[in-house]
Amino acid sequence: MSHDNGLSDKIKGGVSKAKGEVKDQIGNATGDASLQAEGKADKVKGAVQQKVGELKD
């Protein structure tokens, strides 16, 4: 597997984590539990993607 694949997964993971953090914060601020839960799920997905990227490297 090439180095690029791992980097791509790490970047995607970082983006997912960032989007998840924003959703989590907005959901928390507005009392929107479903948005907050979606944000937490995105953060977990992002962490997994980053880990996959590290393993590919």
What is the 8-class DSSP label of residue 32?
Answer: -
Q: What are 4-55's pLDDT values in tens digits? A: 789 999 999 999 999 999 999 999 999 999 999 999 999 999 999 999 999 9
Domain holding 12, by residue range, is 3-56
pTM of the entire predicted model: 0.85
8 A C-beta contact, residue 40 and residue 51: no
Number of domains in the chain: 1
